[in-house]
Amino acid sequence: MSNQIKKYPIIEVNNLKTWFPIKRGVLSRTVGYIRAVDIAGLYINRGETLGLVGESGCGKTTFGRTLSGLEKPRTGEMFFYGKNILDLSRRELRELRKKMQIIFQDPLSSLNPRMNVLDIVTEGLAEFGKIEGTREDHAKRLMNEVGLDNDAIYRYPHEFSGGQRQRINIARAIALRPDFIICDEPVSALDVSVQAQVINLLMDLRDTYNLSYLFISHDLSVVSAISNRVAVMYLGRIVESGLTGDVINNSKHPYTKALINAVPEPGHYQKERIVLKGEMPSPSAPPSGCMFHTRCPEVMEICRKQEPKETMSGIHQVWCHLY
Ligand code: SF4
């Protein structure tokens, strides 16, 4: 895809806050909130992959779960093809499930061990009355699409390797011919040698079916391999976003630079050495001003007091007082 400027957004998010109440005492009073996600704006075009990257615990998985309806936001809007998901009726939400799917990190625990592959990958088709011919026909076609043998459909999840199990998860996700798939750390649990194969499969399927992905990962090198654009998340907020090449080769935010620095091949992306100090603060008590100021090697006085505003250069956005 050559143009990633907002054009045909399949997903659009505005002022989305997924906060979890902290309850205390016998009366279970709300004494605060864990501010897991706080996104001012984000979009994903049709056929585009947006990579969402950040350390573990930064809120990226909660954002994926919010988009897919597994978590309820406190406020905000989430549009799918221009319709606010939060306004949909139960029937409309059920229809949405056909068009939006999710692939989870752990390929084993996301598959029912008592079901064979045939039942797993055709369950959604049967539920929505989409079986034409036999379930076997559908299951075999799906096996072909994800690079598994036809006789895999008669076996159970424990009989496969991690990479094969993730292929089964992908087969289940594409069975209903969705337009949008949330890939939540889909290769993190796999051997490095298998990761590239699964990413190549996801890219092939994206090109064949014009799929859009939200690709969530803590690993910037994995995200950059598949994404058209990248958004970097810290403590629930986007701190930098742009075309993958711009964010990797011309990163602005000190946090992005630190993430790039953590990529195993030093100097592959850039030579500047920045090391992150300390732990990420708790999302229940985020720092004042810039949320990154407690760890930032370039912190200034203003950073402790004032939240940085968005600075834009083309579609490259950054939230930092340095710019
Ligand atoms: Fe660092 Fe200040 Fe920029 Fe935050 S605003 S990333 S503390 S320089």
Domains in the chain, ordered, with CATH?
2-99+176-319 (3.40.50.300), 114-170 (no CATH)
C-alpha distance from residue 152 to each of 127, 128, 132, 142, 200 (Å) = 22, 23, 20, 11, 21
Question: Which one has a higher pLDDT value, 278 or 176?
Answer: 176
Q: Is 321 in the pocket of ligand 1 (CB under 6 A)?
A: yes
pLDDT at 4: 59
The CA distance from 41 to 14, in Å, is: 5
- For the chain, helix, strand, coil in percent to 5 are 35, 25, 40
Nearest alpha carbon, ligand 1 atom 5: 320
Q: What is the pLDDT of residues 90-129, one digit of tens each?
A: 888 888 889 999 998 887 888 999 999 999 999 999 999 9
Q: Quote the ligand 1 centre to 228 CA distance (angstroms).
A: 26
Q: Is 318 in the pocket of ligand 1 (CB under 6 A)?
A: no
Mean pLDDT, range 216-244, rounded to an integer:
95
How is residue 316 written in tokens? 């490259």
pLDDT at 274: 55
pLDDT at 242: 96
| Model confidence at 256: pLDDT above 90 | yes
pLDDT at 185: 93
Give the mutation target among 240, 290, 302, 306 for probing the ligand 1 site: most ligand atoms within 8 A of CB. Answer: 290
Q: Is 235 in the pocket of ligand 1 (CB under 6 A)?
A: no
| Model confidence at 273: pLDDT above 60 | no
Q: Is 303 in the pocket of ligand 1 (CB under 6 A)?
A: yes
Give the model's confidence band at 2: pLDDT under 50 very low, under 70 low, under 90 confident, else very high.
very low
pLDDT at 267: 45
pLDDT at 134: 94
Q: Quote the ligand 1 centre to 4 CA distance (angstroms).
A: 27
Nearest-atom number in ligand 1 for the CA of 253 is 6
Q: What is the pLDDT of residues 157-199, one digit of tens each?
A: 999 999 999 999 999 999 999 999 999 999 998 988 899 999 9
Q: Is 299 in the pocket of ligand 1 (CB under 6 A)?
A: yes
Element of type H or E holding 220: helix 220-226
Q: Is 203 in the pocket of ligand 1 (CB under 6 A)?
A: no
Q: Quote the ligand 1 centre to 297 CA distance (angstroms).
A: 8
The CA distance from 159 to 245, in Å, is: 40
Q: What is the pLDDT of residues 231-247, one digit of tens each?
A: 999 999 999 999 999 99
Mean pLDDT, range 58-69, rounded to an integer:
93
The proportion of the chain whose per-residue pLDDT surpasses 70, expressed as a percent, equals: 94
pLDDT at 300: 96
Q: Is 104 in the pocket of ligand 1 (CB under 6 A)?
A: no
Nearest-atom number in ligand 1 for the CA of 255 is 6
Q: Which of 156-170, 213-227, 272-286 has the lowest mean pLDDT?
A: 272-286
Q: Is 302 in the pocket of ligand 1 (CB under 6 A)?
A: no
pLDDT at 6: 67
Q: Helices 192-209 and 162-174, interaxial angle, to 10°?
A: 20
pLDDT at 3: 46
β partners of residue 13: 42, 78
